[in-house]
A and B are shown apart, each in its own frame.
Chain A
Amino acid sequence: MRKLISLVVLLVIVTGIGVSLVVTPFGAEEAEWEPPSRRERVNFGRYYVHEGLEETGATNIVTSVVVGYRGLDTLGEVTVLFIAATGLAAVLHAAAKKPVGSDRKPASLVVFTGCRFLFPLILLFGTYVFVHGHLTPGGGFQGGAVVASAFLLVILGCRGRRLNEETLSLAESLSGLVFVVAGLIGLVVGGAFLLDFLPRGTPYLLFSAGIIPIIYIAIAFKVGSELGAIIDKLSGSPG
């Protein structure tokens, strides 16, 4: 009975979405049919691709959209991530009575050695990804996730080794502070929040694109420490 009702609901949703999407034109390819005078107003992506390199100085247009054009939006997204991590800590904190991990079997020698060998390499790769976020594919969110995967490897491979929660929360708070202070400096200097107050520099170089690398590195630290704290809390709670 319940499966039947669910299937009927699914069918209704399928026909509804299908019909509404078949009649509505959407997507980047459909926008090419617009006359050229209207195209840039209809399709913001064209505008960003054409003007992004001159206006923000970042050769990675996705980065210039995330941090440059929609920096305030990204601040909100980072806040959502912070609230989710805080909620997880609050949900799991109330029930964590005894520390676990001591009664588990240690990982085998191969995993232990591989973990100790790979951990700095993964950290190095993550740092490369987020430092070069305005030049190459990657950025703060991706680099932070790579760094968090290094923490996950440590927790899996070196049993009993826990992350230092105070260091994680300190890094997370400081990076959030850097983001907001960079925005406030723009407000003081030029009258707009997250205004780019640094010189653009030459494109294709590491020190270019104004405040975009600074903010993206701050985002990387924030994402990495928050995901690391999430992994640490989830692995440390008895099942």
Chain B
Amino acid sequence: MTFLYDYVHYAGCFALVLIGLYAVLVKTNLIKVIIGIGLIDTGVNLFLVTTGYIRAGTAPIFSEAAAQGETMVDPVPQALVLTAIVIGVSVLALALSLAIRLYRHYGTLDLRKIKELKW
């Protein structure tokens, strides 16, 4: 039980990644596939932030009330994820624009009807 309590946040990240992977592999609607890519993105970001977490830690921001550094969480994953979120948004927008072009060309978002795209 303590094992589960210690690692439940990691389990949550992996559940998110796997749900997203399932959507990418199985779903045939292009919008749902893009939602799956977004879920994978979120899960990976959550995992990176979680690796830097210290139990009962505080945000890595100094303030005059409490200017101590011992209980602060790791700032490096937060800094990396900060940029990764914005880039994830722009990559999702790029995928959506490609979906718009596909819909305009084929008249459908069903991947089974778009030739040479899905097995």
A interface, CB within 8 angstroms of B: 2-3, 6, 9-10, 13-14, 17-18, 21, 26-29, 32, 43-46, 48-50, 52-53, 59-62, 64-66, 70, 73-74, 77, 80-81, 84-85, 87-88, 91-92, 95, 136-137, 139, 141-142, 144-145, 203-204, 223, 226-227, 230, 233-234, 237-239
Residues of B within 8 A of A52 (CB): 75
Are A48 and B76 in contact, CB atoms less than 8 angstroms apart? Answer: yes
Given known pairs A21-B10, A49-B60, the reply for A84 and B22 (CB within 8 Å) is no
A41 CB to closest chain B CB (Å) equals 14
Are A48 and B21 in contact, CB atoms less than 8 angstroms apart? Answer: no
Are B61 and A137 in contact, CB atoms less than 8 angstroms apart? Answer: yes
Are B61 and A10 in contact, CB atoms less than 8 angstroms apart? Answer: no
- Among residues of B, the one whose C-beta sits closest to the C-beta of A50 is B69
Are A27 and B51 in contact, CB atoms less than 8 angstroms apart? Answer: yes
* CA distance in complex: A46, B98 (Å): 42
**Which of A17, A53, A81, A226 is the one whose CB lies under 8 Å from B62?**
A53
Are B61 and A13 in contact, CB atoms less than 8 angstroms apart? Answer: no
Residues of A within 8 A of B114 (CB): none
Residues of B within 8 A of A73 (CB): 83
Count residues of B near A (Cβ-Cβ below 8 Å). 46
**Which of B21, B69, B77, B101 is the one whose CB lies under 8 Å from A49?**
B69
- Among residues of B, the one whose C-beta sits closest to the C-beta of A204 is B64
**Which of B55, B60, B82, B90 is the one whose CB lies under 8 Å from A226?**
B90
Are A62 and B25 in contact, CB atoms less than 8 angstroms apart? Answer: no
Residues of B within 8 A of A144 (CB): 86
Are A2 and B119 in contact, CB atoms less than 8 angstroms apart? Answer: yes
Given known pairs A27-B52, A49-B69, A66-B79, the reply for A87 and B89 (CB within 8 Å) is no
* CA distance in complex: A132, B51 (Å): 27
**Which of A18, A62, A84 is the one whose CB lies under 8 Å from B93?**
A84
Residues of A within 8 A of B53 (CB): 27-29
A130 CB to closest chain B CB (Å) equals 13
Are A26 and B97 in contact, CB atoms less than 8 angstroms apart? Answer: no
